Amino acid sequence: MLRLSVEKIDERIAKLKELRKFAEDPDFVDLFQQCLSNNGHPPVPKSEEQEAPTKSKRGALLNGVLDVCRTFDGKFDTGDVELALDAKNFPINAKNHIIALNGALNRLRKKGQVSIAKKGSGRRPTKYIFNSDSDSRKT
């Protein structure tokens, strides 16, 4: 018959009970989180000024990109759109602005409101041009 050693199990249970006491203490949890490594980076201080990002209305980015595209005279790329939106203090609620703007430009292209002037390749971005004749169409 197989003999099981319950001593190690009992030791582990005792350690887990002790850990549970610490986990229930909010002061200890904060201290523990401060001690954890952030992959070599210092911990980001919590500030009361930080607010949760506000959700924008559906289609706000698309409309903002369209408004900016109307202001360009010639060819433009995603970086130009981003700079123009930044100049207008337009919030882009996305982790990666370029991906969000590329998606918006692609939707506008499918609607016929912008066209590709020159397809990008590698590190060269795609150049777009605004279709002024589509401006009379409903967005």
Q: Nearest CA to 59 among 1, 115, 103, 13? A: 103
Residues of the chain with pLDDT under 50: 48-50, 139
The pTM of this model reads 0.56
Contact 112, 131 (CB under 8 A): yes
Residue 80 confidence (pLDDT): 93
Residue 49 confidence (pLDDT): 45
Residue 54 confidence (pLDDT): 58
Domains of the chain: 7-35 (no CATH), 60-136 (1.10.10.10)
Contact 81, 68 (CB under 8 A): yes
* Interval 95-135: pLDDT, tens: 898 999 999 999 999 999 999 999 999 999 999 999 887 66
